[in-house]
Amino acid sequence: MSQRNKLKKFADILRFPNVYENFHPLHPHLQNGEQKELIMKGKWNEDHFKKEAKLCLELACGRGEYTLALGEKYTDTHFIGVDIKGARIWQGAKHALDKDLNNIAFLRTRIESISSFFEKGEVDEMWITFPDPFLRDSKENRRLTSHNFLNRYLNFLHPQNQIHLKTDSPELYEFTLESLGSYEKARIIEHYDDIYSLSELPNPDLVFQTYYERKHLADKKTIKYVRFELDLE
């Protein structure tokens, strides 16, 4: 992508009404469209979506392909794709605007800051789709299923929560099982190291494939899935 094209997309998302951006990681304010800085923590349903509904996040959403697919399927649920890459978010946000998918929004921020933007109990479900596996041992704490991030999720998940991980990385898959197994508040519901070797998909929503999943499958990689919950009691 040319620098000029990238800069145009950054300018576009500053005006998109379905994109919220955080420019200061230690500051909980968000910017949206032509509005002034906003505090959205605890107010997503009321202030953005304008009605109460279940709220689902996709972390490391990239182009927002899973957010879009789920949002089109479950129109009575609200979805927010979260990523730091503005040019990628542009694609998902523009598609949602073009299709009038009013139950979809995007949040541009570092996921390390995620708990600054959601209130306790506000998020019902999360998808983590093909995140960076951070293969160097020195970066294990940056993996989105590490204790480091599980602790953050406790700050905003609903007591009846579901978290889904979809990855092609055997290292991240094994790490996730070990991380959840040693985390007192985690309970693994199901896990599979090759979902397409099964007679049927364990979750119908696994049928959606992102650009990266299609690429991994073309490279003969297997797709792994873990579903778990965190105990907030």
Query: Where in the sequence numbering do the catalytic residues fall?
Result: 132
Contact at 8 Å (CB) between 98 and 178? Answer: no
* β-strands 123-129, 55-59 pairing: parallel
The C-alpha atoms of residue 150 and residue 40 are separated, in whole angstroms, by 22
CA distances, 65 to each of 37, 92, 96, 109, 210 (Å): 27, 7, 10, 18, 6
